[in-house]
């Protein structure tokens, strides 16, 4: 009997049906399972030891990493195009900010550029409109001036609301002036001066009888005032272009809600 047991064991080992090649893949050998489980345990223990050896500050920083600092492996085409246009806008605006400070290439002309920008401020225009309204004696003049006053007030409120929503800063760290704080023109997008001069120029071209040279000068004045804000570093190029667009839309809005002569007379009498 003892001799027959080793012979049967040897016969089982030599039997091809008992080899691993003929076993089901879903039921691997116990020896393979034990080796795999032991290797997994060793790798898990090594990973845990490596995690313990890492600095806790680095682990905290990796967990708290904001999304904007993470690399996007598959960004969308719209995101790439928007970021590219934004980078071009910032670069070109900084290059055109030739009067941003006294040390700039055109720093000596900063006072003159600021003086040109004052012609597009809302406070002088509102004050001038009120003075002309008091001195006006014709119904047509009072009607135009009252609607112009309405347009100026709407411009200040709309631009201030849009700037509060966007909260975009200019290309340079320029502190807003006193008149800017009075008109709540403290952010960059959209440019308040650009929207105001676009609205005023369109308003005057439609409601005043002007010669062709004066009409050309009016358009040039609006363009110069708008881009002077880029030269002093207060706004980006897109801020000025969007300001022109919003100024035109404000003019269209005033045309839709145009106050009649009777309404203007009633408001003047109350005032």
Residue range 214-229, pLDDT digits in tens: 999 999 999 999 999 9
Q: Is the pLDDT of residue 251 over 90?
A: yes
Q: Is 184 left (phi over 0), alpha (psi -120 to 50) or beta?
A: left
Whether the pLDDT of residue 30 is over 50: the answer is: no
Given phi > 0 = left and psi -120 to 50 = alpha, else beta, which region is 207?
A: alpha
Q: Where are the alpha helices (DSSP H) in 119-138?
A: 122-135
Domain residue ranges in the chain = 107-270
Instruction: Report, as residue numbers or ranges, the catalytic residues.
Output: 193, 235
Secondary structure (3-state) at 33: helix
Say what the pTM is.
0.69
**pLDDT tens track for 156-185:** 999 999 999 998 888 887 777 777 888 788
pLDDT, tens digit (0-9, with 9 covering 90-100), for 122-154:
899 999 999 999 898 889 899 999 999 999 999
Task: Tell me which DSSP letter residue 137 carries.
Answer: -
Query: What token pair was written down for 125?
Result: 């225009």
């Amino acid at each position: 009997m003892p001799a027959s047991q080793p012979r049967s064991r040897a016969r089982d080992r030599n039997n091809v049906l008992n080899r691993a090649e003929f076993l089901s893949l879903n039921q691997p050998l116990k020896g393979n399972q034990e080796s795999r489980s032991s290797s997994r345990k060793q790798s898990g223990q090594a990973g845990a030891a490596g995690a313990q050896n890492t600095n806790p500050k680095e682990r905290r920083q990796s967990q708290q990493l904001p999304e904007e600092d993470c690399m996007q492996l598959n960004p969308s085409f719209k995101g790439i195009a928007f970021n590219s246009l934004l980078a071009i806008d910032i670069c070109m605006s900084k290059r055109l900010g030739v009067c941003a400070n006294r040390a700039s290439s055109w720093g000596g002309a900063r006072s003159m550029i600021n003086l040109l920008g004052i012609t597009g401020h809302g406070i002088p225009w509102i004050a001038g409109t009120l003075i002309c309204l008091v001195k006006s004696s014709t119904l047509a003049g009072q009607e135009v001036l009252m609607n112009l006053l309405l347009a100026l007030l709407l411009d200040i409120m709309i631009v201030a609301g849009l700037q509060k929503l966007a909260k975009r800063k200019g290309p340079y760290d320029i502190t807003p002036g006193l008149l800017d704080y009075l008109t709540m023109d403290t952010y960059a997008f959209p440019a308040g001066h650009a929207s105001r001069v676009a609205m005023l120029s369109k308003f005057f071209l439609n409601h005043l009888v002007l010669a062709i040279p004066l009409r050309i000068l009016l358009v040039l004045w609006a363009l110069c005032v708008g881009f002077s804000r880029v030269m002093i570093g207060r706004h980006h190029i897109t801020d000025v272009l969007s300001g022109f667009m919003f100024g035109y839309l404000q003019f269209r809005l005033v045309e839709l809600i145009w106050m009649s002569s009777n309404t203007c007379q009633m408001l003047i009498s109350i005032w």
